[in-house]
């Protein structure tokens, strides 16, 4: 008798993992939502405390914590006096304009320089290109505080202390390494065929940069603009070192420090002033947020 052999099944095909079960899908979904909720609470709770304190009179701020408004709502008083005091305080409006005079040029200058440098590192061939880029990236690890004293001595020798250009140049130098790194990664990820087609048509590097690269790089330019503007606007150390405490060049961070008093006795005014100064950075972020994630993630994967 002849026995038939069973057919051999092919087991060399690609392995496909089984689809996730219902419980796995529910767990993954709620784990992500829970993590996001915890992060939101970590940021929202202190901000809510400062907001509530800004509408409370000084007597209540010094008497009990802001969270008591939820347990004893009827006995709390609410006032706009903190905001009116901050807005009417001498020099605060001028400090707001000074911060604009510092932040806008200190954002535009490094973006402009970094965009040209990033294009050169990405699409131009010159000796030592990779090594120079490595040095630029290495500058990211140098602490800002190490350069304050040498820069201050240099500014004193050229009589730049107490002027806005001193802060512009300082923030430009501190912001350029990160700007070049972000822009170079993005610009380097643009299609090479587009660059080659432009060169075949006779376009120069400057024409390629201004007519092709810059319009396509709006997301990453906006992303760095958010970083740089918020950094400069909220800066206290650089402004204090290079501008000093003169009222004519005082920025909002220095004005807020003066509002708090020498012993922190005006904390209720500080909360109101903080929310006034938050208005412009919040507007900038909400206006450019659609470019934020695109600018940070684009260029991370080539192709």
Separation CA 12–CA 298 (nearest Å): 37
Separation CA 268–CA 169 (nearest Å): 35
Separation CA 26–CA 32 (nearest Å): 10
Structure tokens at 170: 């300082």
Integer CA distances (angstroms), 303 to 50, 71, 204, in order:
45, 56, 24
User: Which pLDDT belongs to residue 128?
Assistant: 87
Which residues contact residue 181 at a Cβ distance below 8 angstroms, ignoring those fewer than 6 apart?
136, 137, 140
Q: Which of 110, 121, 135 is nearest to 187 (CA)?
A: 121
Q: Which of 209, 212, 215, 257 is nearest to 234 (CA)?
A: 257
Rg (CA), the chain: 28
Separation CA 286–CA 163 (nearest Å): 31
173: number of Cβ within 10 Å: 14
Q: Walk along the chain (303 residues) in steps of 10 and give the mean pLDDT of each run.
A: 52 57 62 84 85 82 77 74 78 85 93 93 88 89 85 89 91 91 88 87 88 87 87 90 81 81 66 83 79 58 45
Write out 102-117 in H/E/C secondary structure. Answer: HHHHHHHHHHHHHHHH
Q: What is the largest CA-CA distance in the chain?
A: 111
Separation CA 303–CA 301 (nearest Å): 6
Separation CA 234–CA 103 (nearest Å): 9
Query: 178-194 b/e with 16+ CB inside 10 Å = b?
Result: bbbbbbbbbbebbeeee
């Amino acid at each position: 008798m002849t026995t038939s052999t069973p057919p051999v099944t092919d087991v060399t095909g690609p392995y496909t993992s089984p689809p996730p079960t219902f419980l796995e899908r529910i767990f993954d979904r709620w784990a992500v939502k829970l993590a996001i909720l915890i992060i939101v609470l970590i940021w929202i709770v202190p901000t809510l405390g400062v907001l509530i304190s800004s509408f409370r009179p000084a007597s209540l701020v010094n008497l009990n914590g802001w969270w008591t408004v939820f347990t004893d709502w009827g006995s709390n008083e609410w006032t706009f006096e903190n905001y009116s005091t901050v807005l009417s305080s001498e020099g605060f409006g001028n400090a707001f304009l000074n911060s604009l005079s510092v932040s806008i040029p200190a954002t535009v200058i490094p973006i402009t320089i970094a965009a040209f440098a990033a294009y050169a590192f990405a699409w131009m061939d010159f000796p030592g290109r990779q090594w120079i880029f490595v040095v630029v990236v290495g500058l990211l690890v140098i602490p800002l505080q190490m350069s304050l004293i040498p820069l201050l001595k240099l500014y004193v020798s050229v009589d730049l202390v107490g002027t806005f250009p001193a802060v512009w140049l300082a923030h430009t130098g501190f912001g350029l390494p990160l700007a070049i790194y972000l822009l170079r990664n993005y610009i380097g990820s643009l299609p090479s065929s587009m660059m080659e087609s432009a060169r075949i048509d006779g376009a120069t590097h400057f024409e390629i940069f201004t007519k092709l690269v810059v319009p396509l790089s709006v997301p990453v330019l906006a992303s760095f603009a958010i970083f740089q503007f918020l950094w400069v606007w909220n800066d206290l150390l650089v402004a204090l070192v290079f501008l000093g405490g003169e009222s004519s060049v005082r920025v909002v961070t220095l004005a807020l420090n003066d509002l708090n008093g020498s012993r922190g006795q005006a904390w209720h005014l500080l909360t109101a002033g903080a929310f006034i100064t938050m208005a412009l950075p919040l507007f900038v972020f909400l206006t450019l947020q659609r470019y934020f994630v695109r600018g940070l993630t684009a260029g991370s994967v080539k192709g």
